[in-house]
Amino acid sequence: EKATALQATTSAGELTDPALPQNDLLYRLFHEDGVRVFDAAPLDNACTCSADKVRGILSTFSAEEIESMAVEGVISVTCQFCSAAYDFPAAAVQG
Ligand SMILES: [Zn+2]
């Protein structure tokens, strides 16, 4: 709660000020409790979804649920993380 309250005092100008290094802002906000900064790690856009995983998830649904999800005999699944689209014949995923 304290960290949230302190963070809330940050202005948009402080967050976008190129002359204010991130670590300086962290120190400004949290120096009373101590600030520890870890090495930066690059972000990687790598979703781990796959047709096999989606098929595995679908296999946990009942035949009635599979039937209700199918449109013209096809179940379409879109990964909410990477937007990959997968189509399965409903008959192929019914356990
Ligand atoms: Zn994905």
We report the CATH number of the domain holding residue 14 as 1.10.287
Asked whether the predicted pLDDT for residue 9 surpasses 70, the reply is yes
Give 3-state DSSP helix, strand, coil % of the chain, rounded to 5: 40, 10, 45
Which pLDDT tens digit goes with each residue over 10-63? 999 999 999 999 899 999 999 999 999 999 899 888 899 999 999 999 999 999
Give the model's pLDDT for residue 95: 57
Centre of ligand 1 from the C-alpha of residue 50, in Å: 7
Query: Could you tell me if 55 and 35 lie in one domain?
Result: no
- 15 C-alpha vs ligand 1 centroid, how far in Å? 31
Q: Do residues 36 and 66 both lie within one domain?
A: no
CA of 61 to the centre of ligand 1 (A): 20
How many whole angstroms from 78 Cα to the centroid of ligand 1? 8
Which domain covers residue 3, as residue numbers?
A: 1-41
Please give the distance, rounded to the nearest whole angstrom, from the Cα atom of residue 88 to the centre of ligand 1.
Answer: 16
Q: What pLDDT is attached to residue 93?
A: 84
**Residue 37 and residue 58 in one domain:** no
Query: What is the distance between the alpha carbons of residues 75 and 88, in angstroms, rounded to a whole number?
Result: 5
Per the structure, how many domains does the chain have?
Answer: 2
